[in-house]
Amino acid sequence: ALISMRQLLDHAAEYGYGVPAFNVNNLEQMRAIMAAADKTNSPVIVQASAGARKYAGAPFLRHLILAAIEEFPHIPVCMHQDHGTSPAVCQRSIQLGFSSVMMDGSLMEDGKTPSDYEYNVDVTRRTVEMAHACGVSVEGELGCLGSLETGEAGEEDGIGAVGKLTKEQMLTDPDEAADFVAKTNVDALAIACGTSHGAYKFTRPPTGDILSIDRIKAIHKKIPNTHLVMHGSSSVPQEWLAVINEFGGAIPETYGVPVEQIVEGIKHGVRKVNIDTDLRLASTGAVRKFMAENPAEFDPRKYLSKTVEAMTDIVVNRYEAFGTAGNA
């Protein structure tokens, strides 16, 4: 059944677990997520970015998610729009039937220039008014995602890097978060705590100084009833990097957010955990391996089903690690 993010995350908060939110662009990703949810009895958040709408087309994406709900009626599914750049974009998604939208007012409408606080409050508040009137939940964002180690913004919504950020821009301020929530009434808040989008987050496995669990704790204390969202939560599995590079790929050494650190965040109020890159890496690894080992094969279903298997394993692992399993 289709449910709102608020309903899903309120349950997660009550029982102290987190819910991974996976990006979807195609049938194989959707199948992998649902197979894993079915296997582990987990609720689902699937999210579509602007890039996904451009790739698959909004109607195909919408029906992909509706098809999942039809095939797995016992699994609660939240259909979420990732990184909306304006109230108008969010409104179109609400009209399409999304049960949750993100209004990312941390950046201007171009999706790359950091915005000022008043702008963020204004676009987010307007989106919440409209969405709540339709029973749709809203996620806002305060602070700019960036790697505290490298000072790089990463791929914010894949639209492009914004250049070097200061440490203050890269850590959400707890007092400002409290003011933002009071003024906008968002259901969930994406915070900046040292993670960044994409595969190139850290040049070494991150420790406490570059991923700030302390900041998560401080924010959660100020806004205990707002669900915290961790973007850029891919762990960048080293085993898949090795497979990619063994079978013709060339991805330089890089590290993501260790699953244990995300679990630590969940203990302190993180409820929604955004993951895209890990499924991309797993499917690319699976395709490269299959192609290299089966050079005479040309039926796409053969290699695409390998991607489904590879992605399902990751999704099952995250559902189990985050405590989502058993809560459908």
> CA 15 to CA 108: how far, in whole Å?
36
Question: Which residue positions form the known binding site?
Answer: 83, 104, 141, 197-198, 231-234, 274-277
Binding of residue 81 to ligand 13P (CB under 6 A)? no
> CA 30 to CA 71: how far, in whole Å?
12
| Beta partners for residue 96, in sequence order | none
In this chain, which of 93, 125, 276, 282 binds ligand 13P, going by CB under 6 A? 276
Binding of residue 58 to ligand G3H (CB under 6 A)? no
In whole angstroms, the minimum distance from the beta carbon of 177 to Zn ion comes to: 17
List the one residue out of 205, 204, 258, 254 whose CA is nearest residue 230. Answer: 258
Binding of residue 80 to ligand 13P (CB under 6 A)? no
Q: Are 275 and 318 in contact (CB under 8 A)?
A: yes
What string marks each residue from 11 to 30 as x (binds ligand 13P by CB under 6 A) or -? ------------x-------
**Residue number with CB closer to ligand G3H (52 or 325):** 52
Look up residue 281 and give its two tokens.
């890496």
Binding of residue 272 to Zn ion (CB under 5 A)? no
Binding of residue 158 to ligand G3H (CB under 6 A)? yes
Look up residue 271 and give its two tokens.
């409820």
∠ CA 320-324-326, rounded to 5°: 90
Binding of residue 151 to ligand G3H (CB under 6 A)? no
Binding of residue 314 to ligand G3H (CB under 6 A)? no
What string marks each residue from 94 to 133 as x (binds ligand G3H by CB under 6 A) or -? ----------------------------------------
∠ CA 114-115-119, rounded to 5°: 165
In whole angstroms, the minimum distance from the beta carbon of 52 to ligand G3H comes to: 5
Helix, strand, coil tally for the chain in percent (to 5): 45, 15, 35
> CA 217 to CA 224: how far, in whole Å?
10
Amino acid identity for residue 257 in this structure: V
| Beta partners for residue 45, in sequence order | 21, 78
In this chain, which of 152, 157, 187, 278 binds ligand G3H, going by CB under 6 A? 157
Q: Is 82 a catalytic residue?
A: yes
**Residue number with CB closer to ligand G3H (62 or 83):** 83
Q: Which of these ranges, 110-118, 209-217, 275-283, 320-328, lies near ligand 13P under the rule CB under 6 A?
A: 275-283
From the list ligand 13P, ligand G3H, Zn ion, none, which binds 275 (C-beta under 5 to 8 Å, kind-based)? Answer: ligand 13P
Residue 272 φ then ψ, to 5°: -120, 130
Beta-carbon count within 10 A of 133 CB: 9
Residues engaged in binding ligand G3H (CB under 6 A)? 23, 49, 51-52, 82-83, 157-158, 197, 276
Q: Which of the residues are catalytic?
A: 82
Residues engaged in binding ligand 13P (CB under 6 A)? 23, 82-83, 197-198, 231-234, 274-277
